Every structure is written in structure tokens, then in C-alpha cells.
């Protein structure tokens, strides 16, 4: 089993709808989780981090964490064409020395 798994997509969502991106991880001791956004040809940038079970909201973005199920998700409400990008889930190793990234989910928002 890969350490961090994501559906590669592509995921197509109509403008204004909710986009749901999912990530599972294998290391049960992981304490923190990150979502990076990467536009085509650009570098990744952090958009959300979450450390506790439950939901964390930031504007149109909501991260959801369920440590028992080893599952973290990212919801994007009122999706905009500018949200079209690849979304990378990242999980640090036990010592927080390095991140392991998923392969990313490519999201396309359809106007």
C-alpha cells in the first residue's frame, strides 16, 4: 500500500458546485496533514493544513480529518474556474522531517 493515496482524476465539477477531493494514508501515527494546490507548470503552494479530527474551514475551503479511518479530504465550495489545478495531499513522517506527497488529483471546473 502506498503511504499516501489519492484518486488521480481528472475530476470535473460544474462551476458553483462543491468539489470533493480525498486522500488516505497508511501511517497511523501521522499527526498533521497538508493540502497543496499546483497550477499547470507552476510550483505547489500550501492551501490548508489540519491537525485535529473534524473539520477546518478557511473561506471556500474545508479540510476534513478522520484519523480512525486514516482519511483526509478537501471540500471546495462554490467552485470557480480558477480552482482548476492539481491538488496534492501531503503527510509528514513520524519525526516531521519530511513530507510524503500523494500523486495528486487533477480538478477541472467547468464554466
Partner 1 sequence: DADVTQTPRNRITKTGKRIMLECSQTKGHDRMYWYRQDPGLGLRLIYYSFDVKDINKGEISDGYSVSRQAQAKFSLSLESAIPNQTALYFCATSDQGLAGTDTQYFGPGTRLTVL
Q: Which residues bind partner 1 (CB under 8 A)?
A: 8, 31-32, 34, 42-46, 49, 51, 88, 90, 92, 96-104
**Complex with partner 1: residue 29 or 111, whichever CB lies closer:** 29
**Complex with partner 1: residue 42 or 77, whichever CB lies closer:** 42
**Complex with partner 1: residue 26 or 78, whichever CB lies closer:** 26
**Complex with partner 1: residue 28 or 111, whichever CB lies closer:** 28
In a 3-state reduction of DSSP, which class is residue 37? strand
Please give the full DSSP string across 48-109, using - where no structure is assigned.
EEE-SSEEEEETTEEEEEETTTTEEEEEESS--GGG-EEEEEEEE-TTSS-EEE---EEEEE
To the nearest 10°, the Cα dihedral for 64, 49, 26, 75? 30
Amino acid at each position: 500500500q502506498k503511504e499516501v493515496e489519492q484518486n488521480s482524476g481528472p475530476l470535473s465539477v460544474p462551476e458553483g458546485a462543491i468539489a470533493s477531493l480525498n486522500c488516505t494514508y497508511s501511517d497511523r501515527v501521522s499527526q498533521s496533514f497538508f493540502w497543496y494546490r499546483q497550477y499547470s507548470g507552476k510550483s505547489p503552494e500550501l492551501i490548508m493544513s489540519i491537525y485535529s479530527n473534524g473539520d477546518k474551514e478557511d473561506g471556500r475551503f474545508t479540510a476534513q480529518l478522520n484519523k480512525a479511518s486514516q482519511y483526509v479530504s478537501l471540500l471546495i465550495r462554490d467552485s470557480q474556474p480558477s480552482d482548476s489545478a492539481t491538488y496534492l495531499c501531503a503527510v509528514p513522517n513520524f519525526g516531521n522531517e519530511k513530507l510524503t506527497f500523494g500523486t495528486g488529483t487533477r480538478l477541472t471546473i467547468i464554466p
